[in-house]
Amino acid sequence: MTNPFEAGFLKKIQQFQADIARAQEELKNIRVEGTAAGGLVRATVNGQRELVDIKIGKEALADDDIEMLEDLIVAAVAGANEEAARKAQEVMAGAAGGILPPGLNLDGLLGGL
């Protein structure tokens, strides 16, 4: 039976931790965009799903329909977050280097990144 604390095993764990830390840093720099109403509202989030920018076209304000504008903002942010989740899954799976089983949802495992 192999000793789980062999130097090679510990090195692999340390490398895994370093790879995950690098991936998390990379996620801070990823930018993805979600849109609503054909681009009238654009939301940008980073790979950690933090809202970093929002753009609202003047046409969205023309009708004075605040509820519609709120719905468009929510839809754009949700779309951006979905794309960020996909990107985060790719980045973190790549950082895991085949250690984690295919198809594993890293969303809950890694704190909802």
Q: Which long-range contacts (CB under 8 A, 24 or more apart) does 20-26 make?
A: 20/92, 20/95, 20/96, 20/110, 22/95, 23/91, 23/92, 23/94, 23/95, 24/48, 24/113, 26/91
- Kindly list the strands in the beta sheet with 51-56, ordered across the sheet, starting from the edge strand earlier in the chain: 31-36, 41-46, 51-56
Q: What are the sequence ranges of the domains in the chain? A: 16-95
Q: What fold is seen in the domain 16-95?
A: Ybab; Chain: A; (3.30.1310)
For residue 23, the model assigns a pLDDT of 87
For residue 17, the model assigns a pLDDT of 86
Please tell me the distance from the alpha carbon of residue 5 to that of residue 44, in angstroms, as a whole number: 44
For residue 29, the model assigns a pLDDT of 93
pLDDT by residue for the chain (113 residues), tens digit each?
556 667 777 888 888 888 888 888 888 999 999 999 999 999 999 999 999 999 999 998 888 899 999 999 999 999 999 999 999 988 888 777 656 555 655 555 555 54
Please tell me the distance from the alpha carbon of residue 68 to that of residue 52, in angstroms, as a whole number: 22
Residues 89/82, Cβ–Cβ less than 8 Å: no
pTM: 0.72
For residue 112, the model assigns a pLDDT of 52
Q: In terms of Cα–Cα distance, which of 50, 44, 43 is closest to 24?
A: 50
For residue 18, the model assigns a pLDDT of 87
For residue 104, the model assigns a pLDDT of 58
